[in-house]
């Protein structure tokens, strides 16, 4: 079947997820179903579970590959570690942290919301106050998005860990790494993250459908007493099948397993740290372009700038939704909408996943033309020039081709 | 990447799921990610939601395409319609009904289990007694698997509806159609089913990853007051996005959407009733073979024989697990294991999904050779001959080729 | 299997063939073999032969879909219409016309070569002199490339026809349309072209492997008496199987047939004339960029500028082969080498096939960075700005998305 | 795009080419075009040229991977080694040897045809007489099909070599290995074959489009003086590019190169000798079935029985074309037609390429039902039983699964 709304040439996919899938992953997934109870799939799974720990930078964590999305991964993180009524300190800094908080409330937790203006990072000073006062350890968990996809803000997880340690606070640290893991520097063990999670369609550059959740030993311990009701998302069932060596309490997607195998192979071939550097390079280049256009980053502080998504603030006389719509209609360019509080005010450039310099420059040149089309007085070529000047100095040779 | 344990020629996939994917579906899914917030995906989704109702034979139901498995679809059916402590009458007739009951119990319902010997259908006489006595309508739901995949037993849903009607009982009728819908005669509206569900990797012949749940108006009404905790599986979120016309509360698998489009196209081209007839033809042929081999069907009554899976009882001196292992090792044939109470005692031939006569006959000839290999005195060719005799009289010409 | 020399993100393919394949074509070709003697393949072929005439703009021509490359298509055009010793007037204007002339000579024809400096078009004044003097009609054919891929020069075929008509000369007009058909304005019937040919991997945007040759009634007539030895390329065999309705004298590639079906569908959906306009738009944008960089087009006259490939002349102190090598090594950008006389002196940007504006701008920004890397004093962003200024004014909305 | 004439389940492809493609090969070919002048493709080609020699069992031969079919490979073998008027002894034993002889005649050679009744092998006694009498060495080449696909007859190449050696005759030995190489025992070096050739869509189990020709040193030497006109098929051009290390005189199919890589990987993983044994096993099983049905093999002598294709003679009151048509229409089974002299009299079961035991048994059960349908008094199950009895005793465990 052809695409629904065909346009010549490639779609330029720059939403912050789902992202571009590398051809080798598409190829690996181009396959028949298999019996997941044959010896082949457990053998494949066993290695995947070992290898997937590397993208979390953990050796002690236990990963779960759940047939779900990021929203389901959130639910898995919460219900396996907490009991109804448990107090969670949770940071509201944008649409996705808001949605997670909504989930936390609906799941029956006592959510202690720490709100920041959208465009700012998590208010760690507020966290510190709360920890200081919580001598009775009523706070059972701190829940935080590593990277808020709606505003392009990256939180400082090491600082959160330092605060918890400073107060020797036993709260679990639950991290949404959906738009960070495999793209931003993420160190589960070093930062003492108790549950970290991501989705396959983000920086792993696969189709949607696999929620990847990784639990620290402390989180696993907590899951033994957590009273939240759960079945589909229950780690217990997974752990029982891990022990039996058959691995799957219910049917996994064969295609996603082979896709994950190849996605990890590509990341390891490039080198995870090189992948992170590439994201920094593309993020920095994007910010140079935004600056050259005379526009503002929705993210207010340089130290919070996200290397996976940039939310660009448009002037008040422009509706950012028009930019997104027009980019798609005229240039086959997919940009991210502004959401909720920043709807109409920002558009987003996702620059995560399997992406290279010239793809980004093509996108930036498209954004320039769209800006001009909607009446913003952009100098065509200005953003591309600024980005290229940076990239030209920072892009390494492709190692396999030297 | 190649297959993990390569063998020449095709894998003969006869587990009762995941099943053989038709090539056009694999082709349709061989694609990049897309922005699911562009106009294209809602347009595609809108039509899919209309068309998917046809496989449930409902015009009044509301379908949900959830990124999950059958287990998640179960959870969606229960938590959206019931409150903790609600009484459910639930039939235990094999491993999958047992797992569903386990889920019901862990989700906090008051499960009134009606057990049958494995190989028998649901005990409707017991249901009748319970309904008769339940003048206070403490039974909030009747939960039943249409087809028990572990034993190859098909329940009579029309009879269940007749009983509910006979006692004018308002209990919701919740049906697991995982190994029936798109393969067996299933009539959601006519039989007054309140929630019906299936998984993409069963008779729809797609990869795993989409749980398809369909709710009657009465079930939707119940969801407004059901107090079970749910977020990921909450229909409310879907309904809100349906109303907005953007359809997705969180990211769907683009590939599965296009795959579903093609899977439905193929089913409609063949004709759903012809698909059902084909399953009856292949099921009947399989049973003729089993009889010719001198073996017993695990299903005890002819009226319960399943047209999607046949559980074959082996003599006590044979371990059925050996049959499954050997079939895979020598003939690249994937059969289903016996589970739980019937582990070692039965092996299963899945004959559902996109499958034709000669594929089945190849499988049956393989089973014969395996039976011989494990020491059962089978006459080679006997089962194939019996099946072929039946198929030769019943297989129609392929309509597109007449 | 992964790519041999993996780099993150997409390869930016801007050689003048093979070109980018649209995803729907890749999908259509992702399939099993079929029996080409079943009723299905002749039915498919019959429609393809009708539809493929549209890309030649002919209603009277007879097309042949030959399992070969452009080189084989050349041989087919010559050997089916001419006899050894026949005089051909042939224009040498670059590497590909040179290769065709080499073939003509090796096939035993009397080739009357009309040479131009590389970068110029065919010398039609010389042709006129020859025609004027050829009152005995010793010239049996005029052979000309519509678009010389090595230098980015497009010849004026209408003018060739006018000359032949002016002298009422019966010579056959044989046209290599390899890098023109489906991209440049080409009118087989109107221009009285006797044999036109292209290859699947050029503007049709398919894999290599199908040589498409179209013969006028006059060419078919000539084939009855042409004495050149031929078997594999003999049209007679095809014509015999056309008549029988089985179409194939030997085995075709099933995959390429389905690929062609989809490639044509996409071209017809966009509209052939819109495809041609898109190529003009991308060609013009490229030339604006080259000008902004302060570089010269290898093609010397504006009326000959090619809309499918631009050969860019580099300053004498730069080796253009370094540009090509470096683009691939650092930016995953594939450019065309300079060939033969212009080796080291030009690099080529192919802008044909299934390509859109932002892909081209990404390429142009890459060329800028490469130029800087090899020591050319380019102003980064200058070429992109010039191209974008033009594209911003000329790119239409995507019709299916309005 | 869906298949043209869709039927549920798999197509059972049992024509003697094109054959079933293994999924890993389809996956490997599911890819974009690439620049064939980048360093990647020559690197890939270099290894392919080394590895492809293994399927010819040659260390001294020079292979050519030509974008053509078997018919083109024939032409390449002839025109590169012979001059017009050269005498070739050529064996006519069926439709494909007839077609090759037709080509030889049309290419201007002096073809000394040695005819056998169809169903018999090459008349080597006649060859011996000719060699004995040819003291002047007027015979320049002996051309022979290793396996005649139309009748299922395998010739004894070692015997041909012995005869040539016995008379110390310098004639080139040209072998069509189209339906033998990679399936039957073939030893280029040991048997002194001078040119051997096959096509990608036969036992290599790839799509059509690559003619693989391998030349002995003696053949290469002959090509230096051979006067047959050739350009597209000229080995000289290939050899020049081999020397330059760029390998391709014109554009190869990138997809077929990666496909060949994987096809060879699969063959080497199974082991070429195991592949040959598997073909013997499937061929033998087929012959047992034919015997059980009471039908005759078109091949008259046991020592000539082909392990890649069996031509089955039907009783005079049945038109074998009806069998083929009916198999496709009712059972989605593709069988080979009888050709030319045996049209209507035989149908053919191709059992070559990537195929296993249960696929064959499915086919055989289908043939039985078709035979019954057309009025032949077959005992259903008889052929399958006979084949299974043999296979059950001869099929090894799959090595990767032990």
* ipTM of model: 0.97
CA-CA distance, B399 to B157, in Å (whole number)? 31
Residues of A in contact with C368 (CB under 8 A): 388
Rounded CA separation D230/D212 (Å): 17
Is pLDDT at A122 greater than 80 in this prediction? yes
Verify whether the Cβ–Cβ distance A385 to C388 is below 8 Å: no
User: Mutate which of C27, C85, C209, C213 to disrupt the D interface (most D C-beta within 10 Å)?
Assistant: C209
Contact call for residues B365 and B357 (beta carbons, < 8 A):
no
pLDDT at B6: 87
Chain B nearest CA to D68, separation (Å): 26
- As to burial, measured by CB atoms within 10 angstroms (0-12 exposed, 13-18 middle, 19+ buried), residue C90 is buried
Nearest CA in chain D to C353: D33
pLDDT of amino acid D287:
98
CB atoms within 10 A of CB D132: 12
Structure letter (DSSP) for residue B309: E
CB within 8 Å: C209 and D67: yes
Rounded Cα distance, D185 and D190, in Å: 11
Taking contacts as CB-CB distances below 8 angstroms, the residues of chain A near B5 are 38-40, 43
C-alpha radius of gyration, chain A, whole number: 21
| In a shared domain, residues D35 and D180 | yes
Instruction: Assess contact for D32 and C13: CB atoms under 8 A.
Output: yes
- Nearest-CA distance A340 → chain B (Å): 14
Q: Please give the structure tokens belonging to residue A341.
A: 């509080």
Q: What is the pLDDT, as a whole number, of residue C375? A: 97
Chain A residues within an 8 Å CB radius of B209: 67, 209, 253, 256
- D216-219 contacts at long range (C-beta below 8 A, 24 or more positions apart): D216/D58, D216/D60, D216/D61, D216/D188, D216/D192, D217/D60, D217/D61, D217/D62, D218/D172, D218/D194, D219/D80, D219/D81, D219/D172, D219/D194, D219/D195
CA distance A95 to A150: 6
Q: What is the pLDDT of residue C2?
A: 43
User: Are C33 and C129 found together in one domain?
Assistant: yes
Does residue B18 have a cis bond before it (omega within 30 degrees)? yes
Tokens of C307: 């809309």
Contacts of C322 in chain A (CB under 8 A): none
A391 within some domain: yes
Choosing from B268, B302, B321, the residue where a domain stops is B268
Residues of chain D whose C-beta is under 8 A from some C-beta in A? 1, 23, 26-28, 30-32, 39, 401
Number of Cβ within 10 Å of residue A60's Cβ equals 13
Q: What confidence score (pLDDT) does residue B5 get?
A: 81
* Mean pLDDT score, A136-145: 98
Mean pLDDT of chain A: 97
Q: Which of C1, C37, C229 sits opposite D229 (nearest CB)?
A: C229
Distance from CA of C34 to the nearest CA of D (A): 7
- Annotated binding-site residues of D read 348
Nearest CA in chain A to C380: A385
- Do B175 and B46 share a structural domain? yes
B370 in Cβ contact with B323 (< 8 Å): yes
> How far D10 CA lies from chain A's nearest CA (Å)?
12
pLDDT for C402 equals: 87
Residue A7 lies in a domain: no
Total domains, chain B:
2
Q: What pLDDT score was predicted for residue D5?
A: 81
Residue D111 lies in a domain: yes
CB contact under 8 A, C26 and B28: no
CA dist C367 → A9, A382, C325, C332, C336 (Å): 20, 17, 12, 11, 12
Both B259 and B370 in one domain: the answer is no
Cα Rg of chain B (Å, integer): 21
Q: Over chain C, what is the mean pLDDT? A: 97
* Three-class secondary structure assignment of chain C: CCCCCCCCCCCEECCCCCCCCCHHHHHHHCCCCCCCCCCHHHHHHHHHHHHHHHHHCCCCCEEEEECCCHHHHHHHHHHCCCCCCCEEEEEECCHHHHHHHHHHHHCCCEEEEEECCECECCCHHHHHHHHHHCCCCCEEEEEEECEECCCCEECCHHHHHHHHHHCCCCCEEEEECCCCCCCCCCCCCCCCCCEEEEECCCCCCCCCCCEEEEECHHHHHHHCCCCCCCCCCCHHHHHHHHHHCCCCCCCCCHHHHHHHHHHHHHHHHHCHHHHHHHHHHHHHHHHHHHHHCCCEECCCCHHHECCCEEEEECCCCCCHHHHHHHHHHHHCEECECCCHHHCCCEEEEECCCCCCHHHHHHHHHHHHHHHHHCCCCCCCCHHHHHHHHHHHHHCCCCHHHC
Answer whether D166's CB lies under 8 Å from D129's CB: no
Count the Cβ atoms, other than its own, within 10 Å of residue D156. 16
pLDDT of residue B1: 41
Residues B277 and B249 reside in one and the same domain: no
CA–CA separation, A332 and A366 (whole Å):
9
Residue of A nearest to C289 (CA): A381
To the nearest whole number, what is the mean pLDDT of chain B? 97
d(CA C34, CA C254): 7
What are the residue ranges of helices labelled H in B271-319?
272-292
Q: Which of B357, B292, B369, B346 is nearest to B148 (CA)?
A: B346
Strand partners, D345: none
Angle at the Cα of B186 from the Cα atoms of B184 and B192, rounded to 5 degrees = 160
Judged against a pLDDT cut of 90, whether residue A402 lies above it is answered with no
pLDDT at C45: 97
Q: What is the mean pLDDT of residues D239-254?
A: 98
Q: What is the CATH number of the domain that holds C42?
A: 3.40.640.10
Which residues are B312's β-sheet partners? B297, B347
Here the tokens at position A206 are 């696969």
On whether both C174 and C39 belong to a single domain, the answer is yes
- Ligand-binding annotation for B27, yes or no, is no
Q: Is the confidence at residue D375, as pLDDT, over 70?
A: yes
Mean pLDDT of C141-160: 98
Helix (H) or strand (E) holding A253: none
The C-alpha atoms of residue A219 and residue C224 are separated, in whole angstroms, by 83
pLDDT at position D2 is 43
Considering B268, B287, B307, which residue would you say is the last residue of a domain?
B268
- Name the residue among B108, B262, B334 with its Cβ closest to that of A229: B108
The residue among A268, A300, A318 that closes a domain is A268
B30 within some domain: yes
The rounded distance, in Å, linking the Cα atoms of C39 and C46 is 11
Q: Smallest Cβ distance to B26: which of A30, A41, A68?
A: A30
Of D1, D46, D213, D269, which to mutate for an interface test with C (greatest number of C Cβ within 10 Å)?
A: D1
Task: Indicate yes or no: CB of D401 within 8 angstroms of CB of A39.
Answer: yes
Q: Which helix (H) or strand (E) holds D287?
A: helix D272-293
pLDDT beyond 70 at C3: no
Judge if C159 and C54 occupy the same domain: yes
Neighbours of chain B (3+ CB pairs under 8 A): A, C, D
End-to-end CA distance of chain A: 40
% of chain B beyond a pLDDT of 90: 98
For residue D329, the domain's CATH number is: 3.90.1150.10
| Per-residue pLDDT, D4 | 56
Question: Could you give the percent of chain D with pLDDT greater than 70?
Answer: 99
Best of D358, D371, D387 to mutate (most B CBs within 10 Å, chain B): D358
Best probe of the B interface among C21, C30, C262, C400, by most B CBs < 10 A, is: C30
pLDDT at position B310, please?
A: 98
Q: What mean pLDDT do residues A365-389 have? A: 98
C39-B22-B210 Cα angle (round to 5):
155
* Residue A243: Cβ-neighbour burial (10 angstroms; 0-12, 13-18, 19+): exposed
| Cα→Cα distances C265→C3, C50, C258, D28, D215, Å | 29, 13, 11, 25, 42
- Give Cα separations from D180 to A399, D156, D188, D203, D276 (angstroms): 43, 12, 12, 7, 10
The reply to whether C193 and C293 lie within a common domain is no
Tokens 């059992």 identify what position? Answer: D351
Question: Is D5 contained in some domain?
Answer: no
**Secondary structure element (H or E) that encloses residue B95, with its range:** helix B95-106
CB atoms D385 and B389 under 8 Å: no
Confidence at residue B196, expressed as pLDDT on a 0 to 100 scale: 98
Q: What is the CA radius of gyration of chain D?
A: 21
pLDDT attached to residue B2: 43
pLDDT one-digit tens code per residue, A176-207: 999 999 999 999 999 999 999 999 999 999 99
Token digits for C227? Answer: 């004495």
Radius of gyration of the CA atoms of chain C, in A: 21
* Beta strands at A309-313 and A296-297: parallel, antiparallel or unpaired: antiparallel
Paired strand residues for B142: B89, B173
Calpha distance D260→D255 (Å, rounded): 9
CB contact under 8 A, B369 and D384: no
Can you list the positions of beta strands (E) in D296-361? 296-297, 309-313, 333-334, 346-350
Residue B135 resides in a domain: yes
- Give the domain extent around D57: 23-268
* pLDDT at residue A166 is higher than 50: yes
Q: Name which of B35, B249, B258 is nearest A1 (Cβ-Cβ).
A: B258
Taking residue C68's Cβ as centre, other Cβ atoms within 10 Å add up to: 31
Distance of CA A18 to the CA centre of its chain: 10
d(CA D402, CA D256): 32
Residue C6 lies in a domain: no
Instruction: Name the residue facing B207 among A37, A233, A253 (closest C-beta).
Output: A253
Q: Which residues in chain A have their CB less than 8 angstroms from residue D28's CB?
A: 27
Q: Which of the residues in chain B have pLDDT under 70?
A: 1-4
pTM above 0.90, yes or no: yes
Q: Are residues C186 and C56 in the same domain?
A: yes
Interchain CB distance below 8 Å, A28 and D27: yes
Judge whether residue D396 has pLDDT over 60: yes
Residue range A17-42: average pLDDT?
Answer: 97
Among the listed residues D306, D314, D363, the one whose alpha carbon sits nearest the alpha carbon of residue D96: D306
Does residue A109 share a domain with residue A41? yes
Cβ separation of A208 and B254 shorter than 8 Å?
yes
Q: What share of chain A is helix, strand, coil (3-state, %, to 5)?
A: 45, 15, 40
- Binary contact (B6, D372; C-beta < 8 A): no
Residue of chain A nearest D400, judged by CA positions: A40
Rounded-to-integer distance, Cα C247 and Cα D368, Å: 31
Residue D31 lies in a domain: yes
Separation of alpha carbons C189 and C89, rounded Å: 21
Asked if residue D293 and residue D187 are part of one domain, the reply reads no
Query: Are residues C371 and C305 part of one domain?
Result: yes
In terms of Cα–Cα distance, which of D375, D381, D339 is closest to D151? D339
Mean of pLDDT values over D324-351: 98
């Amino acid at each position: 079947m052809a695409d629904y709304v065909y346009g010549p040439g490639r779609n330029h996919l720059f939403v912050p997820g789902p992202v571009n899938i590398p051809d080798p992953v598409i190829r690996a997934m181009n396959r028949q179903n298999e019996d997941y109870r044959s010896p082949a799939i457990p053998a494949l799974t066993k290695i995947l579970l070992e290898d997937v720990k590397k993208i979390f930078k953990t050796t002690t964590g236990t990963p779960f590959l759940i047939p779900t999305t990021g929203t389901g991964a959130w639910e898995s993180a919460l219900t396996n570690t907490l009991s109804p009524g448990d107090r969670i300190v949770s940071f509201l800094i944008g649409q996705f942290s808001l949605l997670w908080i909504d989930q936390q409330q609906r799941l029956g937790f006592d959510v202690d919301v720490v709100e920041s203006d959208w465009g700012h990072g998590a208010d760690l000073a507020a966290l510190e106050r709360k920890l200081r006062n919580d001598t009775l350890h009523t706070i059972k968990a701190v829940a935080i998005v590593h990277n808020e996809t709606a505003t392009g803000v990256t939180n400082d997880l090491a600082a959160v860990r330092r605060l918890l340690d400073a107060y020797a606070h036993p709260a679990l640290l639950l991290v949404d790494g959906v738009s960070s893991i495999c793209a931003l520097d993420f160190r589960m063990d070093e930062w003492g993250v108790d549950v970290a999670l991501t989705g396959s369609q983000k920086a792993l550059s696969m189709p949607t459908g696999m929620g990847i959740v990784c639990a620290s030993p402390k989180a696993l311990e907590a899951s033994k007493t957590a009273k939240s009701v759960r079945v589909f998302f229950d780690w217990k069932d997974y752990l029982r099948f891990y022990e039996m060596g058959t691995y799957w309490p219910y049917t996994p997607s064969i295609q996603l397993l082979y896709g994950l195998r190849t996605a990890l192979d590509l990341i390891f071939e490039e080198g995870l740290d090189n992948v992170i550097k590439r994201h920094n390079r593309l993020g920095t280049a994007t910010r140079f372009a935004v600056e050259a256009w005379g526009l503002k980053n929705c993210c207010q502080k340089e130290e919070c700038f996200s290397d996976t998504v940039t939310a660009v603030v448009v002037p008040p006389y422009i509706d950012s939704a028009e930019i997104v719509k027009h980019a798609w209609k005229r240039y086959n360019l997919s940009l991210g909408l502004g959401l909720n509080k920043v709807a109409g005010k920002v558009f987003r450039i996702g620059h995560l996943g399997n992406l290279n310099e010239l793809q980004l420059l093509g996108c930036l040149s498209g954004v320039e033309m769209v800006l001009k089309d909607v009446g913003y007085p952009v100098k065509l070529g200005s953003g591309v020039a600024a980005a290229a000047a940076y990239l030209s100095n920072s892009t390494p040779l492709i190692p396999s081709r030297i």
